[in-house]
Amino acid sequence: MPTLKEIKGRIGSVQSTLKITSAMKLVSSAKLRKAQTAIAHMRPYEEQLQRILSAVRSGEGKDSFSYAKKKADASEKEPFPSSAKAATVIIAIASNSSLCGGFNANAIGKVKALLEEYPGATVHSIGRKMADAMRKAGYLSPKDYADLSEHPSYGPAADLVSELMEEFEKGRVGRVFLVYNHFVSTAKQVLVVEQLLPIMAEDSFSYAKKKADASEKESSATEIKKADAPEDIILEPNAKELLEALIPKTLKLKLYAALLDSAAAEHAARTVAMQTATDNGEDLLDELTLQYNKGRQQKITSEILDLASGQQKD
């Protein structure tokens, strides 16, 4: 049985740990609010871009232009064609630090599962935890993207997408996958795997729509009807040139959105993890305090009995 001194030492350690977990929870909550604000500011632009692309690709608008049909009639290839012999690239997003529950472990596990399917793939690891795990597995990241995980920025994300698109057009890259944690709520983060390249004909660029299966978002019938309603759009100079300009922008925006999404999911996961740690620490502190009080009471009782027995002998 531990002595009172040992129990008191454990109580002090738990109290110190509670101060750390409580502070980390507050910091993560503040960072989560900032990440949610960044996503909210980006979403209107991204959703409007999706509406334009949907109209162009489906032939809506005043010129009734069908991009896929015109390209097929001209016997031309789809933009950014895939090559079956080319290499596979995985962009894997995790965090730079731990203490965020299963956030990193889930992403790392999914990337390893993809690597079993595509053993010769190149992994662009964003975040130190992902980079360390992939290095141990023998997949060294071509560049260090640690800062991009902690501070999502459009510029570096756009540069990475431009580089991959260039390699894709040359036939050196066949498929590009994107693996990250999607923020649903503070209590829920969902692991998402998306194909960045090649662009599929049914690919959706909508931030809300592409996460519908994972997010379980609630929308009224009128909102859905309004979002799906065709719009009367005039395309200038023409749909082909618009797609050639907008598709790269959309892919860059998709990666940037994933970075923001992953950052929000990380802070949410850490907030929950620190709250759980704080709750467990408080429970442990109560148990230790009770154990200490019982031991102290027992010691006092024993001393009183010794004094009483001594007086009786006298």
Q: Hey, which residues does 104 pair with through a beta bridge?
A: none
Contacts of residue 42, Cβ cutoff 8 Å, sequence gap at least 6: 207, 253, 256, 257, 260
Q: Give backbone dihedrals phi and psi of 133, rounded to 5 degrees, phi first.
A: -65, -40
Per-domain residue ranges of the chain:
30-269
The predicted pLDDT at position 59 comes to 55
Please write the tens of the pLDDT for every residue from 19-41. Answer: 999 899 899 889 899 888 888 88
Tokens, residue 148: 């991009």
Does the structure show a pLDDT above 90 at 188? no
Summarize the confidence of residues 101-112 as an average pLDDT: 92
The predicted pLDDT at position 110 comes to 93
Please write the tens of the pLDDT for every residue from 200-216. Answer: 654 444 444 445 444 44
Does the structure show a pLDDT above 80 at 239? no
The answer to which of 75-84, 93-102, 138-147, 266-275 has the lowest mean pLDDT is 75-84
Question: For residue 176, what is the enclosing H or E element?
Answer: strand 173-185
The predicted pLDDT at position 313 comes to 62
* CATH topology for the 30-269 domain: Pyruvate Kinase; Chain: A, domain 1 (3.40.1380)
Q: Which residue has the higher pLDDT, 56 or 165?
A: 165
Does the structure show a pLDDT above 90 at 123? yes
Please write the tens of the pLDDT for every residue from 262-284. Answer: 999 999 999 999 999 999 999 99
Q: Which residue has the higher pLDDT, 14 or 82?
A: 14
The predicted pLDDT at position 58 comes to 64
Contacts 24+ apart (CB under 8 A), 61-69: 61/231, 61/232, 61/233, 61/234, 61/235, 61/239, 62/232, 62/233, 62/234, 62/235, 63/234, 63/235, 63/238, 63/239, 65/235, 65/238, 65/239, 67/239, 67/240, 67/243, 68/201
- Read off the pLDDT band of 99 (50, 70, 90): confident
Does the structure show a pLDDT above 70 at 217? no
